[in-house]
Structure 1
Amino acid sequence: MSGGRVVAGRYELSTLIGQGGMGQVWTAYDQRLDRRVAVKLVRPDRVAGAEADELRHRFLRECRITAQVDHPGLVTVHDAGTEGEGPAAELYLVMQYVDGSDLADHLAEHDPYPWPWAVSVAAQLCAVLSAVHAVPIVHRDLKPRNVMVRKDGTVTVLDLGVASVLDNDTTRLTHTGSPIGTPAYMAPEQAMGGAVGPYTDLYALGVLLHELLSGDVPFTGTTALGILHRHLYEAPLPVRQLRPETPQALEDLVLRLLAKDPQHRPPSAQHVYEELLPLLPAPGAPTGHPLDPTRPFLRPHAPWPDAARTPAPRPSGSAVQGERPDIARAVDDVKRLLGEGRITQAVDILGAILPAASAQHGEHSPVVRTLRKQYAATLMDDGQYRRALPELRRLADERAAEAGHADPQSLQFRYEAAQCLEALGEPAEALTEYRALLPYYENQYATTDLRLALDVRRRIGQLLLALGDRAAAHDTLMRLLYDAERLQGPGHPFTAEVRRTLQWLGQVHG
C-alpha cells in the first residue's frame, strides 16, 4: 500500500508496514533532512470523549520522556506532534528507520532457533531494558513484533513511548473490560489492572525467551480470558522437555522470569544479563550468517551504569554562569521554558541555581523553599522520578516538622513520593507509603480533596494486584466501589473504572 501524503509538512508517507486498532506505521521520507524514517500515526478518536484529550497529553509527554533514553538498542525518536484539527486529528511519532527483520519473522525463518541465538537476543534486550527502567519507563508490550534484528545481529526495541502511553492505565483506555496489550506476553499483574513496573517487562522477556527456545509462547488459548487464566494459575512447561539441548541454567532462568509473583522474579534486567553472561558465545570469528544475534558479543552490549546516578549537565545559559548567577533571571527563564514545554531545560536550570540560591538566601528561606518545590514538581513532570523522590521526601519532612504530620502540603509531598516509588517499580514500598497516608485522608474527608483520598485507595488495590494478593485487592476495591457509588454516584468515571476492574477480577476468579 503506497502513501504520498505529507505529515507535518515534512514527512512523505511511502509504504504501509503495519496497522492495528489505534493506528498505522509507515515508512516515510524526511524531506528536510533527506533520509528515510518510520512514522507511527495514532487515532485518539478511537477512544471516547475526554479520554481522547488525555491520550493526546500522555502521548506527547511520553514521547518526550522516551526521547531522553540514550541507548543504541532503542529506536531513536526524531519528532512527535499532532496532525490535523478536530476530533479526527492524528498523533504522529517519527522514529529512526531500522533495516532488518522483526524477531517474529526471524524466529519463523529459523526452526529450531539456536539456543545461543536466543541467549544473545535476550542479553541485548536486558541491556535495553536496563537503560529504559533507569528513566524509569516500563515498556509494557515487549514481544517479538516490537523487536528488530539488524543485519549486523544487533537488536533494536521499538514502540517504547507508544506502548507506555496506550497502557499507562488500562482501565481508563478500554471500555471492553479487557486490558490493552498482547495477552500472550502479559504479566499477571498487568492483565489484572495492577501496578506495573520493571518486573512486568521481565515477565514478558521470559515469555519471549520461552518462545525462542520452544517455538511457541508458554500459554495459548482461544480467548484473551482463557490465556490470562493460564498465566495466573498454570505453571509453564519447562523448555528442556521440548528442547533437551537447552542448558539447565537457561531453563531455570526462564522459569524464574515467568514467576506469578513479581517478587519471585529476578530483581532487575542487570541481574538477568549477569545470569546470561556465562551462556553467551566466547569471542571468536563471526559465522558470516546475516542477522546473527551472536555477532555483537565480546561484552559491548552489557547494561550501562545506572544513568540515574549521573549528575545532570550544567546548563550553559548566561543566567546560571559565573560565581553569583542571576537567580531572578534564571527563574524567569524557567517560567518561559515551562510555558514553551521545554521541561528538561527547566529542570537543569533549577538544579543549577538551587545551591547558589541557598548560599544567598539561606537553606530554609521562602525563596529556596519555593525553588525546591518547583524543582521537585518539574522533575515529576519530566519523568525523572528517581531524582524527584529524595526532594519530595525532604520537603515532606520539613513541612511536617513545621506544621505537623497531618498538614495537607506534607501529605501531598508524601503522596507524590509514593507515586515515584510506584513508577520506579517498588510496589511494596509504594504500598507501605500509601497505607500510611490513608488514615490521614480518611479522617479528613471534609478538608481533603475527595478524589485524592479515593485515588489512594485505588492505588492500594492496584498494588495489591501487582504483588499477587488478589483476595486483599478484591476486598479493597469492593469497599472502594461502595464508597465511590455513595459519594460520587454510580455513573462517575472513577466509579465505572473501579467496577470494570472488579468485573475483570471476578471473571478471572470464575
Structure 2
Amino acid sequence: MNGRLVAGRYELATVIGQGGMGQVWTAYDRRLDRRVAVKLLRPDRVAGGENVDELRRRFDRECRVTAQVDHPGLVTVHDAGNDADELYLVMQYVEGADLADHLAEHDPYPWPWAAAVAAQLCAVLSAVHAVPIVHRDLKPRNVMVRPDGTLTVLDLGVASVLDTDTTRLTHTGTPIGTPAYMAPEQAMGGAVGPRTDLYALGVLLHELLSGNVPFAGSTALGVLHRHLYEAPMPLRQVRPEVPEPLESLVLRLLAKDPQHRPADAQQTYRELAALLPAPGAYQRVSGPMDPTRPFVRPHAPWPDRPAAPGAAQPTPAPGAASSGAPGIAEAVDEVKRLLDAGRITQAVDILGGVLPAAAEKHGEHSPVIRMLRKQYAATLMEDGQYRRALPELRRLADEHAAESGPVGRPALQYRYEAAQCLEQLGEAAAALAEYRVLLPYFEQYRATDPALPLDIRRRMGHLLLSTGDRASAHDVLSRLLYDADRVYGPHHPFPQELRRTLSWLGQVQR
C-alpha cells in the first residue's frame, strides 16, 4: 500500500505497471468511492529535461481529444492534470488480463479467438480514427481481455502525446513505441495515419496465430531493418489450420506501403466478420475470457444469469444547441471564459450552436459571422477535431481568395491550416500536394516570417517518409537543415531535430 494522495482525491494503492517514463497504480477515488487506475508520468524523463512545458501542453490537449471518443472498447478517462512534478491520468479500472498474458495462457491460440480479438480491435480503431486519433502503440500489453471476453484498449491519449514529434521529445531521436509493432513509416519518423494502426494490428494478429511477432531482432535497428525490407512468413506455413482469407488479410495488413494495406478499420472488420462464429454457434462458450463470446452471445449478461431488474438506462447526450442558447455577445464572452479555463470542447459546442442563429440575424457574409467562424475553426483545431475544422478552413480560404486574391496572406494561411488537417487525418498525398503548392508563396514572406516556410518543408519531409519515399525525404530534410542552421543556428532545437532524423535515416539506408 502506498497511501499517497494525488490531486487531493486519488489514494494510490499498488503498482500494476511500470516503465522508464512512469507507473500505473490501482487507486481509490475518495470522492466517488470507486477504484480507478492512475498513470503517473514524469515529464523530465519523457522529454529528457527539454521541452517540458511543451509536453505538458500536449498532454493536456491529447487527454481532451481522447475524452471525445465514446466506445465501450476504449478505456474511459476520468480525470487528468498535474500533481507536484508529475502528470497524472485517471482511468477506469479494467478487470481481466492483458492480451500478452492471455496469449501465454492459451498456446496455441485458437484462430477463431484471434479473429474475434482483431474484429473487436477494429471496432475500437474505427471509432478512434473517426475523431481522428492514431493510437501509435497498439500491442498486446495495451489490450485487456475482460472476464466476459470483451476487449478494452488502453493508453490511447498517452501514446498520442508521447509519439507526436518524437524527435523533439527524446535525446536519441528514436521513435517512442515498441519496435516490434511499429509500421515502417512510424519507425522512420514520418507522418502516421490510421493505416499505421492497421499495421500494428497485423503484427498483433500474426503473433496471436504463430506465437511470435513477424519481425524480431536483438536491437531496435535490426528489427527496423526487417520491418522495412523483409517479407513476413505466411501463417499457414506454421499453422495449416488457419483459413487462407485470414492469412491473406494479415499479409495485407503488414504491407510496407500504407496504400497497399486495407483502406480502413471498417473494411478490415468486414473481412474478419466472415470468419467469426455466428450468434448461438456454440451451446456454451469455453468459459471466462473467451473473445468469441461477444459474437456468440451478443449483449448477453455476464456471468450467465438474468440481468438485474431496474438497471439504470444511459441518458442520451444533450445536443450542442438548445432553445436556451445564449445570445451572440454572451456566447462570445462565455467562449472566452471557457478557453481561458482550458475547457475547449465546451467552447466548440457553444460556437457551433450559436453560428446558425447568428448567420440568420446578421447574414452569412457579415463581419460578425466571419469572426465567429474564424474562432470556431481555430477552436476545432485546438480541440483536435480536424475533420470538422477542414471544411470551415476551406470556406474561409475561399472567401478571402475571392476578396483579396488567391495568393493573399489570409487565404494562404487558411489553406496551410487546412493542409495540416489533411495531414492529421492521414491523407498524406493530399497534404503533401497542398504543401508543395503553398511553399513558393510562403517563401515570398521569408524576410518577415522565416519560420513558416521551414516548418512546411519539415512537414513535407515527414510526409515523404510516411509514403516510403526515403530518398526524396532525405533530400528535402538535408536542404532544410542547411537553411535552418542559417536561420536558427546549429544549437537550436529545430536543426537538432533534423540532424537526429537524418542520422536515423542514414543508419536505416545503409
TM-score, normalized by the shorter chain, greater than 0.5: yes
CA contact 2:279–2:297 (8 Å) conserved in 1: no
Cα distance in 2 between the residues matched to 1:58 and 1:110: 39
Q: In structure 2, how many angstroms separate the alpha carbons of the residues matched to 1:480 and 1:208?
A: 37
Q: Residues of 2 paired with 1:465 and 1:167: CA distance?
A: 16
Q: Tell me which residue corresponds to 1:115.
A: 111
In the TM superposition, residue 391 of structure 1 has moved relative to its aligned partner by: 0.2
Equivalent residue, structure 1, for 2:311: none
Deviations 1:331-356 (A, max 9, x none): 11111111111111111111111122
- The one-letter amino acid of 2:190's match is G
Q: State the AA in 1 paired with 2:505.
A: L
Matches within 5 A, 1:260-339: 260-284=256-280, 285-297=283-295, 313-316=319-322, 318-320=324-326, 326-339=327-340
TM-score by length of 2: 0.94
**1:404 positional shift:** 1.6
Shift of 1:425: 1.1
Equivalent in the alignment of 1:60: 60
> Which residue in 1 is equivalent to 2:381?
380
Indicate if the aligned counterparts of 1:319 and 1:327 stay in contact, CA closer than 8 A. Answer: no
Between stretches 370-379 and 3-12, larger displacement belongs to: 3-12
Structure 1 partner of 2:416: 415
Residue of structure 2 equivalent to 1:476:
476
Aligned position for 1:179: 175
Whole-Å Cα distance in 1 between the matches of residues 75 and 391 of structure 2? 31
Question: Which amino acid is the alignment partner of residue 62 of structure 1?
Answer: E
CA shift for structure 1 position 318: 3.4
CA distance in 1, matches of 2:50, 2:360: 46
Instruction: Tell me the equivalent position of 1:460.
Output: 460
SS at match of 1:162: helix
Name the residue aligned to 1:75: 75
In the TM superposition, residue 299 of structure 1 has moved relative to its aligned partner by 9.1
Larger mean Cα displacement after TM superposition, 11-20 or 281-290: 281-290
8 Å contact 2:44–2:50 — kept in the other structure?
no
Amino acid paired to 1:225 = L
SS of aligned partner of 2:17 = strand
1:72 corresponds to which letter in structure 2? P
Cα deviation for residue 286 of structure 1 reads 3.2
Residue 242 of structure 1 is matched in structure 2 by 238
Instruction: Supply the AA of the counterpart residue of 1:21.
Output: G
TM-score (norm 1): 0.94
Runs of 4 or more, structure 1, over 3 Å off, are 298-301, 315-320
CA distance in 2, matches of 1:313, 1:436: 39
- Could you tell me how far 1:100 is from its partner in structure 2? 0.2
Q: For the residues of structure 1 that align with 2:274 and 2:171, how far apart are their CA atoms?
A: 46
Measured after TM superposition, the shift of residue 317 of structure 1 is: 8.0
Q: How does 1:39-54 map to 2 (within 5 A)?
A: 39-46=38-45, 47-54=47-54
Q: Give the count of matched residue pairs.
A: 490
Alpha carbons of structure 1 residues 317 and 52: separation in structure 2 relative to 1, 3 Å: farther
Q: Secondary structure at the match of 1:184?
A: helix
How far is the alpha carbon of 1:319 from its aligned partner? 3.9
Q: How far did residue 155 of structure 1 move?
A: 0.4
Change (3 A) 1:299 1:347: farther
Does the 8 A contact of 1:28 with 1:36 survive in 2?
yes
CA distance in 2, matches of 1:55, 1:444: 30
Q: 5+ unaligned residues in a row in structure 2: which ranges? A: 300-316
| Paired residue secondary structure (2:91) | strand
Q: Quote the residue 2:28 is aligned against.
A: 29
Q: 1:50 to 1:224 in 2, by over 3 A?
A: closer
2:19 partner letter: G
Distance in 1 of aligned mates of 2:321 and 2:158: 29
Deviation at 1:180, TM superposition (A): 0.7
**Contact 2:325-2:353 within 8 A present in 1 as well:** no
Q: Secondary structure at the match of 2:293?
A: coil
Instruction: Tell me the residue number matched to 2:99.
Output: 103
Once the two structures are overlaid, the 10-residue window that deviates more, 40-49 or 138-147, is 40-49
Q: Distance in 1 between matches of 2:151 and 2:117?
A: 7
Shift of 1:82: 0.4
Higher deviation after alignment, 195-204 or 46-55: 46-55
- Of 83, 87, 92, the residue aligned with 1:91 is 87
Q: How far apart are the structure 2 equivalents of 1:340 and 1:132?
A: 26
Q: Partner residue of 1:7?
A: 6
Deviations 1:362-405 (A, max 9, x none): 21111111000000000111111101000000001111111122
Matched letter for residue 397 of structure 1: D
- 1:65 Cα offset (Å): 1.1
Q: Which amino acid is 1:293 matched to?
A: P
Residue by residue over 1:156-191, the C-alpha shift from the partner in whole angstroms, topping out at 9 and shown as x without a partner, is 000001000000111111111311110000000001
Corresponding letter in the other structure for 2:488: Q
Matched position secondary structure for 2:274: helix
Q: Residue in 2 aligned with 1:495? A: 495
> 1:279 aligns to what SS in structure 2?
coil
Distance in 1 of aligned mates of 2:398 and 2:407: 12
- Could you give the per-residue CA deviations for residues 89-141 of structure 1, whole angstroms, max 9, x where no partner exists? 10000000000000000000010000000000000000000000000010000
Partner of residue 127, structure 1: 123
1:316 Cα deviation after fit: 4.2
Aligned match of 1:367: 368
Q: How does 1:137-148 map to 2 (within 5 A)?
A: 137-148=133-144
Unaligned 5+ runs, structure 1 = 302-310, 321-325
496 and 317 in structure 1: CA distance in 2 versus 1, 3 angstrom threshold: farther
Alignment partners' CA distance in 1, 2:90 and 2:230: 40
- For 1:19, the equivalent position in structure 2 comes to 18
SS in structure 2 of the partner of residue 27 of structure 1: strand
Root mean square deviation of aligned Cα: 1.4
**Counterpart residue number, 1:209:** 205
SS of the residue corresponding to residue 496 of structure 1 reads helix
Contact 2:40 2:89 in 1 (8 A): yes
- After TM superposition, the structure 1 stretch with the greater mean CA deviation from structure 2, 215-224 or 47-56, is 47-56
Whichever residue aligns with residue 472 of structure 2, its letter is A
1:190 pairs with 2:186: yes
Q: Offset at 1:68?
A: 1.2
For the 8 Å contact 1:315–1:345, the answer to whether it is kept is: no
Taking the aligned partners of 2:318 and 2:190, their CA distance within structure 1 comes to: 32
Which residue pairs with 1:153 in the alignment?
149
Match of residue 401 from structure 1: 402
Question: SS at the partner of 2:380?
Answer: helix
* Local SS of the residue matching 1:431: helix
Q: What is the alpha-carbon distance in structure 2 between the residues aligned to residue 314 and residue 129 of structure 1?
A: 25
Deviation, 1:249, is 0.3
